[in-house]
Amino acid sequence: MIKVKINNFTKKELTCRCGCKLFNYDDDFLIRLQAFRLIIDKPLFVSSGCRCKNHNKNIGGADNSLHESTTKQASACDVTNDNCQKIYEAACISGLFNEVVYYETKRFVHLGHDLNQPGNYFNIID
């Protein structure tokens, strides 16, 4: 249950895309995502939010993916717009996420906050 107003993202776009209607997000992550949206001040389109276990597997997500939200709350979101390089740089600088991965060819940026991960994982992948 979201306890704060996440003005720039809808539950619909953050819900699992397989049709199962799963929405199970960590509130702290959603606050970070909204804060990042305010920082970047540009539309961010969600390409992947929550994923049920089956959907995560079907699209080739990692078993321990931060998107996977059947066994735990999701703490990652993939976003895109016409300037993914800017999203990547701003996300790394923001300090809001400790997992930021820019998928250059697929043109989206993975934003994640992993409480179990020491330090940051920032990377650009072809």
Q: Which residues bind Zn ion (CB under 5 A)?
A: 16, 18, 20, 22, 52, 55
Q: Whose CA is closest to 114, among 71, 73, 63, 56?
A: 73
Cα–Cα nearest to 49, from 10, 13, 8: 13
d(CA 34, CA 74): 15
Q: Which is nearer to Zn ion, 6 or 20 (CB)?
A: 20
Minimal distance in Å, beta carbon 72 to Zn ion? Answer: 15
Kindly tell me which of 49 and 102 has the beta carbon lying closer to Zn ion: 49
- Compare residues 24 and 81 and give the one whose CB is closer to Zn ion: 24
In the numeric block, the tokens 């996977």 are attached to 68
Minimum CB separation from Zn ion for residue 57, in Å? 10
